[in-house]
Amino acid sequence: MEEVYLDNAATSRMKKEALDAMMPYFMDEFANPSSIHAMSRAPRAAVKKAREQIAGCINAEPGEIYFTSGGTESDNWALISGMEMQEKKGKHLIISTIEHHAILETSYYLEKRGFEVTRVKVDKDGIIDMAELEKAIRPDTVLISVMTANNEIGSIQPIAEIGKLAHDKGILFHTDAVQAFGHIPLDVKAMNVDMLSASGHKFGGPKGVGFLYVRKGIRLPPFMHGGEQEEGRRAGTTNVPGVVGMGVAAEISCKDMDAKNRKMTELRDHLIDRVLKEIPYSRLNGHRYKRLPSNADFSFEFIEGESMLMSLGMKKVYISTGSACASGSLDPSHVLLGIGLPHEIAHGSVRISIPEETTLEQIDYAVDCLKQTVETMRSLSPLYDDFIKSQRV
Ligand SMILES: *Cc1c(COP(=O)(O)O)cnc(C)c1O
């Protein structure tokens, strides 16, 4: 078996069409799209086209798309500038407990700067508790930010409902849609979203480029200061090749999404069914159905996620424990603790995120390896041994 890459939520392989579309803008059409001369025309037109391609995916207008360096910058911009802009009206921000670090860490930064933050719980399936959210709203709440789909457990939030609640109370609503854009259908109008973050490399575009959708009429102040690019809202010479690649990747990703997702869901469900049936003391994290078609996240009792990763790596199956950003630290993922898993179970968790081109054969190979690894590791575990003996009495 060749390498089986099942870590698509960490980053995706670029689409060939996206790479091809980028190439001319490094050498032949390298000019700065903000220049006045004739050579700036082609890159300027290419950036305009990318803005249209992206807006088209989410039912936005091209003028509502602002290019950034990626998901992290978009999240920082939406939260920091979104709070600063409304400082006189109120200083309270609401997020969920299972947000990506780009939101979570920014919320800690805002607290240090004198803002107040409430982090609303999710239920055991990783779906936000709407009653808790409503209770968290205060007269001085000015921004709510809840991710569209979680990067670890894939759970999809009731975004339209959250947006409606926010708007009924006159509160701005931002969503981190980095895992969702290009993977599930999104419509900023139907979802009642004011701001939305996405990142090129999560859907077959290049790394280091993303965008923030800002609804027309919201005067979000700039986060990067300097030139007049992006209507004066985001300074810095436009990353023309990056933006072009992201535009093409977006257009391809959003085409025939339903058909692609039916196939992905079948693969995912086959994987989930086999694991839960064939590996004892395993559990699926996240909602059984309200989850990304590409995501499966499991906990295996009596096992360490990191050792499982290493053992699978030797079989050329590449997966992840929790989120890539959290790995390297010994703390279990805040997302798994957020859905109520005890520490020892959270430690035995792995995330499998499936690229679109994956075959059934590859999935079956991965499950076989997973099963073998779990069996081997448990056979070496004194804890598991004690547990099995205690079950016999
Ligand atoms: C990857 C990711 C980000 C960060 O995006 P970058 O472009 O890598 O900075 C933010 N939020 C979520 C949910 C992500 O999965």
| pLDDT tens profile 264-296 | 999 999 999 999 999 999 999 999 999 999 999
Instruction: Check residue 208 and give its pLDDT.
Output: 98
Q: Encode the chain in three state secondary structure.
A: CCCEECECCCCCCCCHHHHHHHHHHCCCCCCCCCCCCHHHHHHHHHHHHHHHHHHHHCCCCHHHEEEECCHHHHHHHHHHHHHHHCCCCCCEEEEECCCCHHHHHHHHHHHHCCCEEEEECECCCCCECHHHHHHHCCCCEEEEECCCECCCCCEECCHHHHHHHHHHCCCEEEEECCCCCCCCCCCCCCCCCCEEEEEHHHCCCCCCCEEEEECCCCCCCCCCCCCCCHHHCCCCCCCHHHHHHHHHHHHHHHCCHHHHHHHHHHHHHHHHHHHHHHCCCEEECCCCCCECCCEEEEEECCCCHHHHHHHHHHCCEECECCCCCCCCCCCCCHHHHHCCCCHHHHHCEEEEECCCCCCHHHHHHHHHHHHHHHHHHHHCCHHHHHHHHHHHC
Q: Quote the ligand 1 centre to 72 CA distance (angstroms).
A: 6
Instruction: Check residue 20 and give its pLDDT.
Output: 98
**CATH code, domain with 300:** 3.90.1150.10
**Ligand 1 pocket mutation pick from 151, 156, 325 by most atoms within 8 angstroms of CB:** 151
Q: Are residues 351 and 377 in the same domain?
A: yes
**CATH code, domain with 215:** 3.40.640.10
Q: Are residues 377 and 301 in the same domain?
A: yes
* Mean pLDDT in residue range 7-13: 98
Residues with CB under 6 A from ligand 1: 70-72, 75, 100, 102, 147, 151, 176, 178-179, 199, 202, 210
How many domains are contained in the chain?
2
Residue 369 is among the residues annotated as catalytic for this protein: no
Q: Are residues 166 and 288 in the same domain?
A: no
Q: Are residues 357 and 343 in the same domain?
A: yes
Q: Percent of the chain, pLDDT > 70? A: 97
Domain limits for position 328: 4-11+257-392
Q: Quote the ligand 1 centre to 240 CA distance (angstroms).
A: 21
**Index of the ligand 1 atom closest to the CA of residue 102:** 10
* Mean pLDDT computed over every residue of the chain: 96
Query: Has residue 328 got a pLDDT over 80?
Result: no
Q: Are residues 342 and 328 in the same domain?
A: yes
Query: Has residue 25 got a pLDDT over 90?
Result: yes
**Ligand 1 pocket mutation pick from 7, 73, 107, 199 by most atoms within 8 angstroms of CB:** 199
Looking at 197, 229, 254, which one is the last position of a domain?
Answer: 254
Tell me the C-alpha distance between 343 and 324, whole Å: 18
Q: Are residues 93 and 213 in the same domain?
A: yes
C-alpha 336 chain-centroid distance: 16
State whether residue 284 is helix, strand or coil: strand
Token pair listed for 245 = 């690649």
| pLDDT tens profile 185-233 | 999 999 999 999 999 999 999 999 999 999 999 999 999 999 999 999 9
Instruction: State the pLDDT confidence band at 331, using cuts at 50, 70 and 90.
Output: confident
Which residue, by CA, sits nearest to atom 12 of ligand 1?
178
Query: Has residue 60 got a pLDDT over 90?
Result: yes
Q: Are residues 105 and 224 in the same domain?
A: yes
Could you count the other beta carbons within 10 Å of the beta carbon of residue 326?
17
Query: Has residue 325 got a pLDDT over 60?
Result: no
Looking at 227, 254, 281, which one is the last position of a domain?
Answer: 254
Q: Are residues 165 and 29 in the same domain?
A: yes
Looking at 254, 278, 311, which one is the last position of a domain?
Answer: 254
Q: Are residues 190 and 231 in the same domain?
A: yes
Instruction: Check residue 330 and give its pLDDT.
Output: 67
Q: Are residues 250 and 284 in the same domain?
A: no
Q: Are residues 283 and 326 in the same domain?
A: yes
**Ligand 1 pocket mutation pick from 79, 99, 100, 223 by most atoms within 8 angstroms of CB:** 100
Q: In what order do the strands lie in the sheet with 116-120?
A: 65-68, 210-214, 195-199, 172-176, 141-145, 92-96, 116-120
Query: Has residue 324 got a pLDDT over 70?
Result: no
Which residue, by CA, sits nearest to atom 3 of ligand 1?
71
Token pair listed for 169 = 């109370």
Q: Quote the ligand 1 centre to 154 CA distance (angstroms).
A: 13
Q: Are residues 273 and 243 in the same domain?
A: no
